Amino acid sequence: MLAWEYPPRVIGGLAPAVAGLSGALVRSGHDVAVLTLHEPTVDDDAVLDGVRVLRAKTDLPWLPPDDFVAQMASANHHMVQLTALLEGWIPDVVHAHDWLVAWAGDTLKTLWNVPLIATIHATEKGRNHGFIPAGQPAAINAVEWWLTYQARHVIACSHFMVNEVLDAFGPPPNKVHMVPNGVDADAWAPPDPPPPRGEHGPLVVSWGRVQYEKGFQTLLDATARIRWDIPGLHVVIAGRGSHLDALRQQADHLGLHGVVTFAGFVPDEELRDLLHRCSSAVIPSLYEPFGMVALEALAAGAPVIASTAGGLGEVLRDTGAAALYEPGDVDGLADVLRRVLTDPATSASLREAAPALLARYTWDAIAAQTLPLYEEALRG
């Protein structure tokens, strides 16, 4: 496995996805080594839940600070160097997760003469709403195309993403396969007994990378419309990203001081505690390849409100486990927020439907869907 992030280094949903799949493959009797990035809080060579994890220190020679793609290409050399620590162990398959590790994946495929599998977790075209601006986005798009071309099989986490990969890169349709992400429900489950929800007033939690496509601006607009209807309302938005300053300015303009808190980066333990105590967890994405955060919130027992963007709609629609609205629809989000926060029966109904949905997304089940692609690649 090649991944630019791996717990405890977590930037988005990629890290828990790679960790969940790797651990499930080990439980099913396979040997897994993960090559990833240095994280100062852990050893650079360790075995975690049966997975050998090797971490590269990507100290680079001088490169233009604005040339992110060049920096990634250079850093991939350090990842390849980690294979010396494997002391002759050669895998049957190399599995690269997203464009950031494309160069290392292609190099190791050639050195070891084994098939390359690529998972595309999101695309630059999707992040830019169907357009490819010149400069860095165009360069990233080119690397994504090259990775899908070099791979024997391409995995996407939803039918939405399968169509996006086919549209963006034009591979043969039988080369792209839908395998969803999963969730470690036990890791997110509330303690026994669970803490009271909304003990100090209605608490809404939303979290993730703070980018425009995550839709937090929709949540702010909806909060402004219902704040006077929901006494004591408090909204926490957790995470870091390039859109944070714009959101703060929007909150000031809407007069949401004291109603909305921007918590910045929140460690997993604190995030889980928030989800165990909140009145609702909101996933307001405008673009979402899968929506692992929704599964995490459901596992935490939170009443979930989500947009139907991309993979979120596929996972949640017609399950009764989440209150849904159309992406970017401020009135729609305000309506479901008001209903979930004021009607205990609605909140209870959402939570009662969650276990049946979560049972379909265990990592063991996802590993069982991934293994046949490895086996087919080995036969090819």
Q: Are 254 and 218 in contact (CB under 8 A)?
A: no
The model's pTM? 0.90
Largest CA distance in the chain: 65
Q: In which order are the strands placed within the sheet that holds 322-325?
A: 260-264, 234-238, 203-207, 280-283, 304-307, 322-325
> Is the pLDDT reported for residue 34 higher than 90?
yes
41-50 contact pairs (CB < 8 A, 24+)? 41/8, 42/8, 45/85, 48/7, 48/19, 49/19, 49/23, 50/23, 50/26
Q: Quick check: 201 pLDDT over 90?
A: yes
In tens, the pLDDT along 298-341 reads 999 999 999 999 999 999 999 999 999 999 999 999 999 999 99
The pLDDT score that the predictor gives to residue 287 is: 93
Q: Who has greater pLDDT, 70 or 176?
A: 176
294 vs 64, more confident: 294
pLDDT for 171: 95
pLDDT (mean) for 186-204: 94
**Structure-token pair, residue 329:** 């629809």
Residue 92 has pLDDT above 90, yes or no: yes
Whole-number pLDDT of residue 221: 98
Which residue ranges form the domains of the chain, and what is each CATH number? Answer: 14-182+362-379 (3.40.50.2000), 185-361 (3.40.50.2000)
Give the per-residue pLDDT at 267.
87
What pLDDT was estimated at residue 13? 86
Q: Average pLDDT for residues 267-275, to the nearest whole number?
A: 93
Q: Is 12 helix (H, G, I), strand (E, B) or coil?
A: coil
Mean pLDDT of 78-99: 96
The residues pairing with 325 across neighbouring beta strands, listed in sequence order, are: 307
For 71-75, 99-103, 224-228, which range has the lowest pLDDT when averaged over its residues? 71-75
Which residues make beta-bridge pairs with 236?
205, 261
How high is the pLDDT of residue 10? 87
Q: How far is CA 120 from CA 62, 156, 246, 376, in A?
A: 29, 6, 29, 19
How many helices (H) and strands (E) in the chain? 15, 13
Q: Order of strands, edge to edge, in the sheet holding 51-56?
A: 33-37, 51-56, 45-48
pLDDT surpassing 90 at residue 376: yes
What is the side-by-side strand order in the sheet with 116-119? Answer: 94-97, 116-119, 153-156, 176-178
CB neighbourhood size of 166 (10 A): 17
Percent of the chain with pLDDT over 70: 100
Give how far the C-alpha of residue 328 lies from the chain's centroid of Cα atoms, to the nearest Å: 20
Per-residue pLDDT reduced to its tens digit, 54-85: 999 988 877 888 888 998 998 999 999 999 99
Q: For residues 41 and 31, is the Cβ–Cβ distance under 8 A?
A: no
Give CA–CA dist 260/254, Å, rounded.
Answer: 11
Provide mean pLDDT across the span 10-37: 95
Contact yes or no for 351/6 (Cβ under 8 A): no
DSSP state of 257: B
CA distance 348 to 376: 44
Region 163-167 average pLDDT: 96
Burial classification of residue 99, based on how many CB atoms lie within 10 Å of its CB (0-12 exposed, 13-18 middle, 19 or more buried) = buried
